[in-house]
Amino acid sequence: MTAFIVDSPAYSYLTDTVSHTGYYNCRKCVTRGEYEDTNVAFNDFDAAIRTDEGFRRQDQEEHHRGRSPLEDLPEIDMVKNFPYD
């Protein structure tokens, strides 16, 4: 199994997704964060799980800034191969 072990800024760069301070930045689900004090908090524990197919279709367009060249490689799962570091 391939895995990209990267911190949040590198994840955003590699996958062309919103920054780690964005409301829709969770790699694993489609929850919307809420601004609390100085952080974006994720309090919805029932949000739908993000999938490779949904990622590639950009089902949640707010999560994406563009299209990553890694999506040209079908053997990469754009969700499962990016675990949290």
Report the distance separating Cα 47 and Cα 65, nearest Å.
21
Report the distance separating Cα 54 and Cα 1, nearest Å.
20
The answer to whether the beta carbons of residues 48 and 40 sit under 8 Å apart is: no
CB of 18 to Zn ion, least distance (A): 13
Three-state SS at 11: helix
CB nearer to Zn ion: pick between 16 and 33 = 33
CB nearer to Zn ion: pick between 20 and 28 = 28
CB of 31 to Zn ion, least distance (A): 5
Residues near Zn ion, by CB under 5 A? 26, 28-29, 31
The answer to whether the beta carbons of residues 81 and 28 sit under 8 Å apart is: no
CB nearer to Zn ion: pick between 26 and 78 = 26
CB of 72 to Zn ion, least distance (A): 26
